Amino acid sequence: MPKKDRQQRAHELATQVHIAAIAGLELLSMDKAKLIARVQNRYEFFGPMADARQSAEALCKTIGAAEKMRLAVALAVVEGGDDDPDGREAA
């Protein structure tokens, strides 16, 4: 996937999670009566929360995988692997 497409997909996922986080915080701040009225009146907005949760999980997995890769490279260097991960020779 081209870099531009990857960036666009990440932006879409982050936007979906951002909107759901704001909606979730609003729901958590409501009393029972207001919560019932709000969800009944705007179910189409609050219904897709499961999709946003899956997007958040995908973002977390992506960030976690990148962190593991970074740590693996750091460990390889510490254990006497390539001193310069860019492949340049030392001067």
51-73 confidence digits (pLDDT tens): 899 999 999 999 999 999 999 99
Whole-model pTM over 0.85: no
Mean predicted confidence (pLDDT) in 11-24? 92
Confidence label for 91 from pLDDT (cuts 50, 70 and 90): very low
Which pair of structure tokens corresponds to residue 45? Answer: 């907005």
Radius of gyration of the chain (CA): 21
How far is 72 from 63, CA to CA, in rounded Å?
14
DSSP 82: -
Non-local (6+) Cβ contacts of 76 within 8 A are 82
Domain positions in the chain: 3-78
Q: What is the pLDDT of residue 88?
A: 57
